[in-house]
Amino acid sequence: MIDIGSLAPDFTLSSDTGDVLTLSSLRGKKVILYFYPKDNTSGCTQQACAFRDALPEFSALNGVVLGVSKDSLKSHASFRSKQNLNFPLLSDESVEVCEKYGVWVEKSMYGRKYMGIDRSTFLIDEKGIIQKIWRKVKITNHIPDVLKSL
């Protein structure tokens, strides 16, 4: 499990924009790295749109927003287009990055157990150090809380 004060695990993932993004290439920026369960679901749509709407505020504070789920690039591209998202969505179909960040967990719904992404956000500073971690994120007031932490 990673902790506040540790170096954020580096990764390289494909983006819905067709680019390949490496986390360490963003040194010098504050990175808001958020993991979400699934494109086009109500909670994930609400969260993505909240990040979209606050992006000018994040940018003004030298922040970059990245969304990660295990959905395919095709699914991400559709989600981004449908919701007019203004930040990259990264595909972690192998869940390797999700595992590095400790967000690939056992979940339970209606008594059925399955593996899925625990909605989580990581604030990474300009040197690549994790400054804050939000796990089991509740969408209400999450964006203002992240902005306050920048």
Per-residue pLDDT at 140? 84
Residue 20 lies in a domain: no
Residue 85 lies in a domain: yes
Please give the structure tokens belonging to residue 49: 């749109």
Residue 65 lies in a domain: yes
The total of structural domains in the chain comes to 1
Residue 128 lies in a domain: yes
Question: Which residues have a catalytic role annotated?
Answer: 44
Residue 88 lies in a domain: yes
> Which segments of the chain are extended strands (E)?
12-15, 20-22, 30-35, 63-69, 89-91, 104-109, 112-117, 120-124, 130-134
Give 109's strand partners: 112
Residue 17 lies in a domain: no
C-beta of residue 44 within 8 angstroms of C-beta of residue 38: yes
What CATH number is attached to the domain comprising 69? 3.40.30.10
Residue 38: which domain range? 28-149
pLDDT by position in tens, the chain (length 150) = 789 999 999 999 999 988 999 999 999 999 999 999 999 998 899 999 999 999 999 999 999 999 999 999 999 999 999 999 999 999 999 999 999 999 999 888 788 898 999 999 999 999 999 999 999 998 888 999 999 999
Residue 2 lies in a domain: no
C-beta of residue 106 within 8 angstroms of C-beta of residue 114: yes
